[in-house]
Amino acid sequence: MKKYLRIALEVLLALLLVGACAFAYVNFAGKKALSSDMDEVSAELDETKDSLDKTKSQLEELQTKEEELEASAKQFDAIKQSFANGVLLQDVEALYKAQKTLSAERLVALGTVRQLTKGFEDPSAVESFQKSLEIAELGARMQAVCAAQNALVSAGKKITVLAECSSKEAMAGADKDEKAKSEANAHNVHWGYEGDNGPEHWGDNFPTCAKGKKQSPLNIAGPMDKSKDSIAPDYKQTALKLINNGHTIQVNVEPGTGSITINKETYDLVQFHFHRPSEEQIDGKNMAMTVHFVHKNKAGKLVVMGVLLNEGKENPVIKTLWANLPPKEGEEYAPDKMIINPANLLPSNLGFYEYEGSLTTPPCTEGVTFFILKTPMDISKAQLAKFPFKLNARPTQEINGRKILEN
Ligand SMILES: [Zn+2]
C-alpha cells in the first residue's frame, strides 16, 4: 500500500512540475509578443509625431506665403492706382529721360505705361495691358502697344507715339503723315525673311541669291563620302561686343582671340550670329536654332562652322548674351566689363558635315566652306522665346550635284 502511495505522490509532483513549466513558458512567450507589439506602437507614434511636425511647418510656410501674396496684391492695387492718376508715368518718364538709349523692352514698357495712363478712362485698358504682357514675343508685344497707341491717336488723344510704332506693319489706322513716314522707312529695308522682302525676292537686288549654283543652306542627307579634312577651332575669352543688325544678333570678336585651323590653314574668327530655326536641315528636319561662326583667312576666304541648338537645358553662354542684348538696332554694343568665351558654345565632339556653299544672307556670295557639327548643343524654351527674331532662316537651297562629306 505504502509503495502505491509513493508512486502516486511522485506522479502528482511530476505533473505539478510540468504544469509550472508550461505556465512559465506561456507567460514568457506572451510577454515577448506583447513587447514587440509595444515597439511597433511606439514606432508608429514616433512616425505620427514626425508627420505632425511636418504638417505644422507646412502650415507655417503657407501662412507666410499668404502674407506675401496679400502684400503683392496690395502692391498691384497701388500700381493700378498710380496708372490711373498718372504718377507712374511721371516716374517712368523721369527715370528714362536720364538714359541716352532705351532697350526695346524699356520702350515697350514706357509705351504701355503711356497707353494705360492716357487711356485710363477706358476700363478695358488694364485688361488689354495684362493680355499684352502674356504675349511672349517682343515683336508681338510691340505690335499690341503700337495698335493701342495708334487707336488712341485716331480717337483724338494727344499722346506721343513711339518711333517704333511708325513702321509699316504698325501703321494700320494711323493718319496720312505717319503713313508717308513709314513708306520712307520701308525704302531703307532692303531684305528680310517674310513678304515682299523675303528670300524669294532677294534675287531682284542680289542676283547671286537667285542664280548661284552653290547656295547655302542645304538639307544634309546621305549618302555621304568621307571627309579628309580636319578642323581645330581655338577660341579664347573675349570682351563682349554685340549688334542687332536688323537680321540677327551678332557677336563681334576681337581680332586675335579666336581661330580655326583647317588642315594647316588658319582662319580668324570674325563674328558669330544666330538663326531661328536652324538654317541647315538634317534629313529634312530643322533644329530650334543654329549658331554660325564666321572665319576669314588672310586671302579673304570664308569658312563657317555651324553649331545646331536643340530645345533642352538652359545654355549659360546664351544666358549672358541674351542678358546683354543691344538696346538699339544697328549700333555695336559693348556692355562694361562683360567677357564671354565662344568655346563654351561648342560640343566636345567635333564630328562634322562639310560642303561648299555661300553666305546665307544677301549678297549670297559663293566660295564659303561650311562645317556643320553633328552634335547639337542645348538652348532652353525660355531662351528661345527671348531671341528677338521669330524667323531669320533662309530656306534650304538646291544641291545641284554638290557632294556632302562627313567625318
Ligand atoms: Zn548665318
Question: pLDDT tens digits, residue range 144-161?
Answer: 667 766 767 776 666 767
**Is position 292 annotated as part of the catalytic site?**
yes
Residue range 112-144, pLDDT digits in tens: 667 666 555 555 565 555 555 554 455 666 666
pTM over 0.75: no
What distance in Å separates the CA atoms of residue 166 and residue 178, rounded to the nearest whole number?
6
**Is position 354 annotated as part of the catalytic site?**
no
Q: Where do we find the cell 499684352?
A: 132
Phi, psi (rounded to 5 degrees) for 291: -110, 130
Output the pLDDT for position 3: 61
Output the pLDDT for position 100: 66
Output the pLDDT for position 69: 73
Q: Which of 275, 280, 290, 354 is catalytic?
A: 275
> Contact, 373 vs 305, CB < 8 A?
yes
Q: Where do we find the cell 509503495?
A: 3
> Contact, 233 vs 343, CB < 8 A?
yes
Task: Kindly give the distance from the C-alpha atom of residue 274 to the centroid of ligand 1, in angstroms, as a whole number.
Answer: 6
Task: Kindly give the distance from the C-alpha atom of residue 8 to the centroid of ligand 1, in angstroms, as a whole number.
Answer: 114
Cell of 201: 525676292
Q: Are strands 258-262 and 231-235 parallel, antiparallel or unpaired?
A: antiparallel
Task: Kindly give the distance from the C-alpha atom of residue 280 to the centroid of ligand 1, in angstroms, as a whole number.
Answer: 10
Q: Which of 247, 257, 266, 375 is catalytic?
A: 247
Task: Kindly give the distance from the C-alpha atom of residue 289 to the centroid of ligand 1, in angstroms, as a whole number.
Answer: 11
Going by C-beta distance under 8 Å and a sequence separation of 6 or more, which residues neighbour residue 131? 144
CATH 3.10.200.10 domain range(s) in the chain: 201-406
For residues 297-333, one letter each, b for 16 or more C-beta atoms within 10 angstroms of the residue's C-beta and e for the rest, the string is eeeeebbbbbbbbeeeeebebbebbbebbbbeeeeeb
What distance in Å separates the CA atoms of residue 115 and residue 152, rounded to the nearest whole number?
8
**Is position 275 annotated as part of the catalytic site?**
yes
Indicate the helix (H) or strand (E) that contains 269. strand 265-275
Output the pLDDT for position 380: 98
Output the pLDDT for position 51: 77
Output the pLDDT for position 55: 76
Query: DSSP 3-state assignment of 48?
Result: helix
**Is position 190 annotated as part of the catalytic site?**
no
Task: Kindly give the distance from the C-alpha atom of residue 253 to the centroid of ligand 1, in angstroms, as a whole number.
Answer: 15
Output the pLDDT for position 344: 97
Specify the amino acid at residue 278: S
Task: Kindly give the distance from the C-alpha atom of residue 38 to the centroid of ligand 1, in angstroms, as a whole number.
Answer: 74
Q: Which of 208, 273, 280, 361 is catalytic?
A: 273
Q: Which of 117, 248, 279, 354 is catalytic?
A: 279
Whole-Å CA distances, 93 to 107, 110, 113, 138, 157: 11, 8, 9, 21, 18
**Is position 279 annotated as part of the catalytic site?**
yes
Whole-Å CA distances, 40 to 26, 44, 48, 54, 385: 21, 6, 12, 21, 56
Q: Which of 292, 295, 361, 396 is catalytic?
A: 292
What distance in Å separates the CA atoms of residue 286 and residue 188, rounded to the nearest whole number?
31
Query: In the CATH hierarchy, which top-level class contains the domain 201-406?
Result: alpha beta
Q: Where do we find the cell 510704332?
A: 165
Residue 261, burial from CB neighbour count under 10 angstroms (0-12, 13-18, 19+): middle
In this prediction, the residues of the chain whose per-residue pLDDT falls under 70 are 1-38, 41, 72-85, 87-88, 91-92, 98, 100, 104-105, 108-110, 112-113, 115-145, 148-149, 151, 155-158, 160, 163-189
**Helix orientation angle between 124-134 and 104-118, rounded to the nearest 10 degrees:** 160
Output the pLDDT for position 43: 74
Residue range 271-330, pLDDT digits in tens: 999 999 999 999 999 999 999 999 999 999 999 999 999 999 999 999 999 999 999 999
Output the pLDDT for position 182: 38
Output the pLDDT for position 164: 63
Output the pLDDT for position 180: 43
Q: Which of 112, 208, 238, 360 is catalytic?
A: 360
**Is position 201 annotated as part of the catalytic site?**
no
Task: Kindly give the distance from the C-alpha atom of residue 292 to the centroid of ligand 1, in angstroms, as a whole number.
Answer: 5
For the chain, the first-to-last Cα distance in angstroms comes to 115
